[in-house]
Amino acid sequence: MERIKTDILVIGAGSAGLSVASGAVQMGAKVVLLEGHKMGGDCLNYGCVPSKALIASAKAAHQQAHSAPFGVANVKPDVDYKAVMQHVAGVIDTIAPVDSEERFEGLGVKVIREFGHFISENEVQAGDTIISARRIVIATGSRPMVPPIKGLDSVEYLTNETLFDLREKPEHLLIIGGGPIGMEMAQAHRRLGARVTVIEGSKVLGRGDPELVRYVTDALTGEGADIVEEAKVSSVQQVDEGIRVSCEDGRVFTGSHLLVAVGRVSNIEKLNLGAAGVETADKGIRTDDGLRTTNRRVYAIGDVAGGMQFTHVAGYHAGVVIRSLLFALPSKAKTDHIPQVTYCDPELAQIGLTEEGARAMYGDQTECVRFSYAENDRAQAERKTEGMIKVVVVKGRPVGASIVGHQAGEHINLWALVLANKMKMSQIAGMVSPYPIIGEISKRAAGAYFSPKLFGNKTVKLVVGAIQRWLP
């Protein structure tokens, strides 16, 4: 049995763990990194990267079939699903070296390709190696949740971890779950020529602003996807026609393939957390505001911490704990400045409070301004007029923004800066945007906030009138 001592031990080589390992080793700390599965974790292999590559193929197919408004004849796309999935695999392969064992070994990190489990408060065993560390960071991520649906264990079903292994296009893809993953994959497969039915037990994209979510659901149904809400699945079974999904209210759906996309669960089972005195919570490992667990030597970051499960949150968490690990400085993780995006077409982006959340918190102090994509000249030129921005303001300061429309994920970036730095609407209004860009919608929303205060103010009109009469 080999024994190693190190400054920092990172368990998990996904987005969160890799960010800590690279940052810490380049600042002079001794780092050991454990990974028992694939380098790059879920994001590279099963999540953000392959899903966005698939969405890009679907977008290309959709554009071929909908080019007539630009004076270019529509053509029926000839979709080679195997080639599409080879494109997806190629994108993963291109990015993989950045997350590879070789790169991190080159940076000075000792990489051990084994799962690790605690044997004491500051020791972890990985295969034939015991690592003793001054500080330990758990970054083991999450995996798809498999709900306790009757019959699910007896049918062949897909999750995001197996979907991208397909090489033949599903004839009819049934999707249980209308969250971001379910909706993104529904639209992508519909555009690639599959029939698609989304079965959601409540409302699709239920965490989004309902006013904006409607644009997304209208787009998907307009493209031919079936979206079924308030349909709680009671059982699934294999039948001659494929897979049958039955709901509590008696509705039945039959398709060739089944994708389960109902959420995620933290990967903690192999860690033997009890040996380290690390407590768990409902959705993951219990941490304080600084992401430290109930063992002061151990931190938990990314999905395993049980909060917002996004790659950019994992990277943010890494920055928070590096400050504490390397410089012994207090550092806290927040969530009110974290954006989230659903990459359907139109995209749906959100940061901070929705209108409903703001009114619950601030009551009558809440103001809400909107600006439509249809009033933006670039959106008109590109035929991308479906969408809007909605900003929630309290006492002149934005507390939330929602955008639905073309490249909404790009445009929410500005509002991430605004909320992170507690900027005011007046600062957004003072910005000069190049013309014509769709991003001008943010400035125009700020203008919409101030317009009634200026143009509808009788005192302002009286003052301006008096000045005009006074001027020579």
- Three-point CA angle 19, 25, 29, nearest 5°: 125
Question: Per-residue pLDDT for 201 more than 70?
Answer: yes
pLDDT of 58 reads: 98
What domains, with CATH codes, occur in the chain? 2-144+265-327 (3.50.50.60), 152-263 (3.50.50.60), 346-455 (3.30.390.30)
> Is the sign of the CA dihedral 13, 302, 258, 404 positive or negative?
negative
Q: Show the tokens assigned to 74.
A: 């529509």
Give the Cα separation of 188 and 194 in Å (integer).
Answer: 9
Q: Show the tokens assigned to 228.
A: 């079924």
Sorting pLDDT into bands at 50, 70 and 90, what band is 454? Answer: low
Task: State pLDDT tens for residues 253-273.
Answer: 999 999 999 999 999 999 999
Mean of pLDDT values over 386-392: 98
Sorting pLDDT into bands at 50, 70 and 90, what band is 52? Answer: very high
Pair 84, 54: CB distance under 8 Å: yes
pLDDT of 467 reads: 72
CA 17 to chain centre: 18
pLDDT of 282 reads: 85
Please report, rounded to a whole number, the percentage of residues in the chain having pLDDT higher than 70.
97
Inter-CA distances, 236 with 1, 110, 408, Å = 48, 46, 36
Q: Which residues touch 241 (CB under 8 Å, ≥6 apart)? A: 254
Question: Per-residue pLDDT for 193 more than 80?
Answer: yes
Give the Cα separation of 386 and 413 in Å (integer).
Answer: 20
Q: Tokens 């070789």 correspond to what residue?
A: 102
Question: Per-residue pLDDT for 464 more than 70?
Answer: no
Give the Cα separation of 175 and 181 in Å (integer).
Answer: 10
Question: Per-residue pLDDT for 163 more than 90?
Answer: yes
Give the Cα separation of 393 and 400 in Å (integer).
Answer: 7
Count the neighbouring beta carbons within 10 Å of the beta carbon of residue 387. 27
Q: Show the tokens assigned to 374.
A: 């249809």
Q: In what order do the strands lie in the sheet with 397-405?
A: 340-342, 347-352, 397-405, 388-394, 366-372
Give residue 116's identity as a one-letter amino acid code.
Answer: G
Question: Per-residue pLDDT for 145 more than 60?
Answer: yes
Question: Per-residue pLDDT for 460 more than 60?
Answer: no
pLDDT of 456 reads: 61
Mean of pLDDT values over 192-205: 98
Sorting pLDDT into bands at 50, 70 and 90, what band is 472? Answer: confident
Mean of pLDDT values over 280-297: 95
Q: Show the tokens assigned to 140.
A: 């083991």
pLDDT of 260 reads: 98
Mean of pLDDT values over 387-411: 97
> Which comes out higher in pLDDT, residue 1 or 444?
444
β pairing state of 298-300 and 129-138: parallel
Give residue 314's identity as a one-letter amino acid code.
Answer: A
Sorting pLDDT into bands at 50, 70 and 90, what band is 81? Answer: very high
Please report, rounded to a whole number, the percentage of residues in the chain having pLDDT higher than 90.
93
Mean of pLDDT values over 329-358: 95
Local structure of residue 35 (DSSP, 8 states): -
Sorting pLDDT into bands at 50, 70 and 90, what band is 461? Answer: low
Sorting pLDDT into bands at 50, 70 and 90, what band is 341? Answer: very high
Whole-number average pLDDT of the chain: 95
Mean of pLDDT values over 335-359: 96
**Whole-prediction pTM:** 0.94
β pairing state of 2-11 and 366-372: unpaired
Pair 230, 241: CB distance under 8 Å: no
Mean of pLDDT values over 128-137: 98
pLDDT of 470 reads: 75
Task: State pLDDT tens for residues 223-238.
Answer: 999 999 999 999 999 9
pLDDT of 375 reads: 97
Count the neighbouring beta carbons within 10 Å of the beta carbon of residue 470. 7
Pair 223, 187: CB distance under 8 Å: yes
Pair 44, 99: CB distance under 8 Å: yes
pLDDT of 458 reads: 63
Q: Which residues touch 156 (CB under 8 Å, ≥6 apart)? A: 238, 243, 258
pLDDT of 445 reads: 96
pLDDT of 10 reads: 98
